[in-house]
Amino acid sequence: MFRIGVLASGRGSNFQSLIDSIDSGAIKAEVACLITDNPDAYATERAKRHNIPHVYMNPASKDMYYNAIADELTRRGVELVALAGFMRVVKKPLIAAFPMRIMNIHPALLPSFKGLHAQRQALDYGVKIAGCTVHFVDEGVDTGPIILQEAVPVLSGDTEETLSARILECEHRIYPRAIKLFIEGKLKITGNKVIVEQ
């Protein structure tokens, strides 16, 4: 069975969408473990409910932190790493251990509005279309090859909260879809482009 490792910092709603897709049979895989950098992350409760191994790893050990994560994921036989609201920039030791095998979901249409508070950035800029992006992780911040995107309209009365909620619905659709495509071997990387094979 294909094994996925998940990194999360907070509530883990994208983690839940992955669990639901696996439970429904849409994705043929299992979550080998959840790693959190926050001992109070609600994602841990989701892992407990589904009998998924979960590990809190203290980020205070900065120099060795990503080496330790890479070692833990490797030990558990992980083949793909999914960032699900992991609020840290992934560093080289983990990227080197899983090259083009780390995915992230970002609440903007990259390459626009990278980094934190992407929905607020979109509203401040006055865009009419926002959305989300699934991409492979490289050593930049939200700069890796784009896998899938979905757009949502920005409405005149939108707040950061209402726009975020609309984007989150899209995230829950396209993140499992991107992971499924990866597992099925349908993603081919050419330079900085991802070709989705039909």
Which residues are catalytically annotated?
Answer: 106
- Token pair listed for 35: 């790693």
Nearest to 73 by CA among 31, 109, 114: 31
DSSP annotation of 192: T
For residue 147, give the 3-state DSSP assignment: strand
CA atoms within 13 A on the CB side of 182: 27
Q: How far apart are CA 9 and CA 86, in angstroms?
A: 5
What are the start-end ranges of the H helices in 12-79?
13-23, 43-49, 62-75
Q: How far apart are CA 55 and CA 89, in angstroms?
A: 19
